[in-house]
Amino acid sequence: MSGLLTDQLRTMAAAYPDETAYRNLGDDTSITFDRWERRSNRLARGLVDRGVAPGQRVVIVMEPDHILHWIVTYSAVHKVGAVAVPLNNRLSAPEVRGIVEHAEATAVVASGSYGGSIGPLVGAVPSLSVVITVGDPGIDGATDLEDVLAGDDSTIQAPRDGDDLADIMYTSGTTGRPKGVAVRHSQVARVPNQLPEWQGTGWLTASPVFTFAGLGFIHNPMKSGMTVLHLPTFAAGRWLGIVERERPHSAFVVPAMAQLLIHHPAFATADLSSLRKLVLGSAPLAPHTLRTLQAKLPGADVLNSYGMTEGGHATFAMDPEAARTRPGAVGRPTPPVEVRIVDDAGRACRTGEVGEVLTRNPGGHREYYRDPAATARQWAGGWLHTGDLGHLDADGYLYIVGRKKEMIVRGGMNVYADDVEAALQAHPDVVEAAVAGIPHAVLGEDVAAWVVLRPGSGATAEAVVDFARQTLADYKVPRRVDVVVELPRNAGGKVVKSHLTAGSDGPA
């Protein structure tokens, strides 16, 4: 078989045309492999008819409820040989414009509610010539998606090879403007194409498809003969109910979702016995959360992973045995990935010593689109400088302790935010916690925390501090704890700690 994602879809449509490929659990709509294949052929031909050529960029921006339109569009873009540019559906109009301009997009396929963001770009962005929308957005010159889908559905595929661009994934921009990670066809999927035996089971995911993790769950489940069960908007109670009702075999959640699940009132009694695999990733996972999930799912592999969009697929993965014996680890490098831990001078750290995590992925090197200076900085010396702090144990398992820029130096002692957050989140009433450094006149920095408590909890900030003191060294214990309703997040769902610390006067 060939290596394109569209080759996998064609294989499934030929072998299992009437099987359900993807279900939208938001409105209980679904699409078969045959319908997905035919509709994406029609849309691909419609894009070609409108002048979209191989190598040109096509922006996709839709609300999560339009997931079936989204996956059809994504396949169509690759069939044209164009480059998909998935956009976060929560971006502001100026952010959308910045990415459309930077990508020099030829086309935009959007749901109608984005008319206010896309309309002003028509005629103002020189590269943009095609706008296709789901519903009527009131944009002059836009074409309704259903009109484009009325044409020929015969097979279409522009020739592509492994070095051709497949996607440009724009980062969430927590440290500045978003940068586009260029992903080539040889790097777009870790699991090779194959003709699986149809299992008829489900893989549950609530991850947005504009993220690299979410994008992987469009095609990987079909390679295992499974239907994707997509929950457009995550809610812990809804997720637990879906597992009880739909009985999926596998699921993926990010640690923030896991925290909400284990603190939900229905978690203790929910029947999750159908799950044989629960994969976690995209952010550090508190050991207490992992152990709680493992206790709830004794018959399942509960596996953490680690990677960056810049680094390729999950570059570190846990095996089932180590997942139970090494809480806090995120795995060993997945061949051919290499890892180094270095200090601020670039010297290799000893086993167990904390330093910056550097990775190298032979054959999977990526770069920032149209940004050679940022590429040179991020991949200095041929190694990806992740900005994450971690250490390796004697068997090569990696432990992430925080972000390099989030390390707090309190009176000369290094405090890693993730360590403190994990201790706070072990409190039975703490749903989420964020830790950051705040200015201190004597110590330079002090440790502050912001926590979200379980609804109805009677816990106080003082009680949370006392709890943390049981497991943390004295210098790591937060001197200030604020109880908040929610943590501020960016459009990608990551906590923006600068919003917490802005205007801080120091410890209370």
Is there a single domain that holds both residue 341 and residue 436? no
Tell me whether residue 314 is in a domain. no
Which of 187, 218, 242 is the last residue before a domain boundary?
Answer: 187
Task: Answer yes or no: is pLDDT of 333 > 80.
Answer: yes
Location of structure tokens 């769902």:
493
Give me the half-sphere count of Cα atoms (radius 13 Å) on the Cβ side of residue 291. 10
Pair 111, 177 in one domain: yes
Q: Which of 143, 164, 187 is the last residue of a domain?
A: 187
Phi and psi angles of residue 242, each rounded to the nearest 5 degrees, phi first: -65, -40
pLDDT tens digit sequence for 301-324: 999 888 888 887 768 888 999 999
The full DSSP string for 69-84 is HHHHHHHHHHHHT-EE
How many CB atoms are closer than 10 A to CB 178?
Answer: 21
CATH number for 33: 3.40.50.980
Same domain, 153 and 56: yes
pLDDT of residue 497: 87
Do residue 364 and residue 496 come from a single domain?
A: no
Please state the pTM of the whole predicted model: 0.88
Range among 30-39, 165-174, 370-379, 461-470 with highest mean pLDDT value: 30-39
Q: Cα 257 to chain center, whole Å?
A: 12
Q: What is the pLDDT of residues 238-249, one digit of tens each?
A: 999 999 999 999
415 vs 51, residue with greater confidence: 51
Whether residue 129 sits in one domain with residue 158: yes
- Domain total for the chain? 3
Residues 31 and 179 occupy one common structural domain? yes
In the predicted structure, residue 32 carries a pLDDT above the cut 90: yes
Of 403, 421, 453, the position where a domain reaches its end is: 403
Distance, CA of 346 to CA of 341 (rounded, Å) = 9
**β-sheet with 480-483: strand ranges across:** 430-440, 444-453, 480-483
Residue type, 257: M
Residue 282's pLDDT band, with cuts at 50, 70 and 90, is confident
Structure token digits, residue 362: 């032979």
Domain that holds residue 83: 9-15+27-187
Range from 220-234, 256-270, 407-421 carrying the lowest mean pLDDT: 407-421
- 504: pLDDT confidence band, cut at 50, 70 and 90? low
Beta bridge partners of 22: 31, 228
Domain check: are 364 and 421 in the same one? Answer: no
Encoded tokens for 495: 């906590």
| Backbone angles phi and psi of 17, in degrees to 5 | -60, -35
| pLDDT interval class at 498 (50, 70, 90) | confident
Same domain? For 462 and 413 the reply is: yes
Instruction: Say whether pLDDT at 122 is over 60.
Output: yes
pLDDT digit string, tens, across residues 430-485: 999 999 999 888 888 899 999 999 999 999 999 999 999 998 888 899 999 999 99
Residues 361, 465 within the same domain: no
* 157 in a structural domain: yes
Please check the confidence at residue 507 and state whether its pLDDT lies above 90: no
Same domain, 394 and 423: no
Q: Is residue 373 part of a domain?
A: yes
Does residue 38 have a pLDDT over 60?
A: yes
Shared domain check, 360 and 341: yes
Classify residue 5 by its DSSP letter: H
Torsional sign, CA 33, 38, 39, 45: positive
Q: Is residue 430 part of a domain?
A: yes
- In a shared domain, residues 63 and 141: yes
Residue 419 has pLDDT above 90, yes or no: no
Mean pLDDT of the chain: 91
Half-sphere exposure for 389 (CA within 13 Å, toward CB) = 19
In-domain check, residue 209: no
- What pLDDT is attached to residue 346? 94
One-letter amino acid for residue 186 of the chain: S
**Rounded Cα gap, residues 205 and 213, in angstroms:** 10
Tell me which range, 44-58, 84-98, 210-224, 406-420, is most confidently predicted by mean pLDDT. 44-58
Is the CB of residue 34 less than 8 Å from the CB of residue 13? yes
- What pLDDT shows up at residue 502? 67
